[in-house]
């Protein structure tokens, strides 16, 4: 597949107006995407669990307009007009126009809402961008009804990536690989693909409890963060390591070896932060409470032998990962020992999900 294949030929149908809606989840990377070339072409492969509870719902309404000179759209969050969201969406529209040539033909209303609290420090770009891309694909599907389901998902992921890299891993579930690599057949830099190999029962229904350690605005935007990998002294080794880690993960996912799984994902999380600490300029994105939580997780794991582990994104919040079979005891530990390190004691219980869902608008 190349970009060319996502450029449509002449559309067979004419659609004057309508409404489509999708809900699309967030995802949590196990092997991290950190470093990109132009248009979110990743420097290394990544793999993620698609989440279930943390998601964005987007309703896209469209009306064909007279002139096709420029984009015409308004964005709403929870019913409130958000002119400050305009530039980001405009940049996205400009980037995808060649793949969705109808974008200037319609007036759009984009109404969006998130299940997770606003300013929770949880990035909404993955769920938000993928929900919008899916809505646009639903419109394109009406213009071109012979589109296959496989193409629909692939192009939705491709467009999501052009909005935000990690968003391309939110279309399907439960494990998604993005970025070309030898280990995973069919993997691509252009879009996410379902992990195609055997996955042990241990990883079914895996839990992710997200500890809201710091709900503030992101200290480092992802664009700035990814750019720090350009000229980074350890970049080459890091990109090679991500390939190696993906190869190592394969037998772990197959055998259900939880100790090895935890060692690998925790190392990935700390490596991501190590990259930020060793770039120029340098950043420490963990907070004292992040470290408190990590130390408590390690002590509890040692004491109980339970399979509790963590991962981090480019921020202070901690994703606590554990198998469903041990959820009762671990959740009790989170409530009694870890919640006090969260802002206002807040955490979100999530688990592996199976991707985006279209919402029927025909009522």
Residues that bind ligand DP6 (CB under 6 A): 29, 32-34, 36, 40, 46, 123, 125, 164-166, 222-223, 226, 272, 313-314
Q: Omega before 281 cis (within 30°)?
A: yes
Measured from the CB atom, the residue of 215 and 301 that comes closer to ligand DP6 is 215
What would you report as the CA-atom Rg of the chain, rounded to the nearest whole angstrom?
Answer: 20
Measured from the CB atom, the residue of 32 and 238 that comes closer to ligand DP6 is 32
Calpha distance 241→229 (Å, rounded): 14
Kindly state the smallest distance separating residue 61's Cβ from ligand DP6, in Å. Answer: 26
Measured from the CB atom, the residue of 153 and 164 that comes closer to ligand DP6 is 164
Cα–Cα distances in Å, from 62 out to 23, 71, 99, 138, 162? 18, 12, 18, 11, 21
SS3 347: strand
Kindly state the smallest distance separating residue 27's Cβ from ligand DP6, in Å. Answer: 7
Calpha distance 107→65 (Å, rounded): 6
Kindly state the smallest distance separating residue 160's Cβ from ligand DP6, in Å. Answer: 10
Q: Which residue number has the CB closest to ligand DP6?
A: 165
Measured from the CB atom, the residue of 105 and 174 that comes closer to ligand DP6 is 174
Measured from the CB atom, the residue of 23 and 313 that comes closer to ligand DP6 is 313
| φ, ψ of residue 183 in degrees (nearest 5) | -70, -35
Kindly state the smallest distance separating residue 34's Cβ from ligand DP6, in Å. Answer: 6
- Beta bridge pairs of residue 348: 210
Measured from the CB atom, the residue of 125 and 153 that comes closer to ligand DP6 is 125
Collect all residues with Cβ–Cβ distance below 8 Å to 4 and sequence separation of at least 6: none
Torsion of CA 134, 136, 138, 142, to 10 degrees: -160
| CA 156 to the chain's CA centroid | 13
CB atoms < 10 A from the CB of 215, how many? 18
Kindly state the smallest distance separating residue 192's Cβ from ligand DP6, in Å. Answer: 11
Kindly state the smallest distance separating residue 336's Cβ from ligand DP6, in Å. Answer: 29
């Amino acid at each position: 597949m190349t970009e060319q294949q996502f450029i449509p030929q002449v559309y067979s149908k004419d659609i004057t107006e309508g409404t489509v809606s999708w809900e699309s989840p967030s995802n949590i990377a196990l092997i991290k995407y950190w470093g990109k070339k132009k248009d979110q072409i990743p420097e290394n492969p990544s793999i993620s669990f698609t989440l279930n509870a943390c998601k964005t719902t987007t309703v896209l309404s469209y009306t064909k307009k007279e002139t096709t000179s420029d984009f015409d759209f308004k964005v709403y969050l929870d019913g409130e007009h958000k002119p400050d969201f305009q530039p980001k969406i405009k940049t996205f529209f400009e980037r995808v126009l060649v793949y969705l040539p109808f974008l200037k033909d319609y007036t759009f209303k984009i109404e969006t809402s998130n299940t997770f609290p606003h300013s929770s420090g949880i990035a909404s770009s993955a769920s938000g961008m993928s929900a919008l891309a899916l809505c646009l694909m639903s419109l394109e599907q009406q213009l071109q009804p012979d589109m296959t389901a496989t193409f629909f998902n692939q192009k939705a992921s491709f467009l999501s990536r052009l909005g935000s890299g990690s968003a391309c891993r939110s279309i399907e579930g439960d494990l998604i690989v993005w970025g070309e690599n030898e280990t995973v057949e069919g993997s691509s830099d252009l879009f996410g693909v379902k992990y195609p190999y055997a996955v042990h029962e241990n990883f079914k229904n895996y839990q992710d409890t997200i500890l809201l350690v710091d709900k503030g605005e992101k200290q480092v935007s992802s664009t700035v963060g990814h750019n720090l990998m350009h000229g980074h002294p350890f970049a080459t080794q890091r990109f090679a390591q991500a390939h190696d880690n993906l190869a190592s993960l394969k037998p772990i996912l197959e055998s259900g070896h939880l100790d090895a799984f935890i060692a690998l994902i925790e190392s990935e999380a700390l490596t991501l932060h190590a990259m930020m600490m060793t770039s120029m300029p340098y950043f420490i994105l963990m907070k004292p409470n992040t470290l408190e939580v990590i130390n408590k997780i390690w002590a509890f794991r040692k004491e109980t032998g339970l399979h509790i582990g963590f991962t981090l994104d480019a921020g202070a919040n901690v994703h606590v990962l554990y198998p469903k079979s041990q959820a009762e005891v671990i959740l009790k530990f989170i409530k009694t020992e870890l919640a006090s390190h969260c802002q206002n004691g807040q955490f979100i219980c999530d688990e592996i999900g199976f991707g985006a869902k279209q919402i029927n608008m025909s009522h």
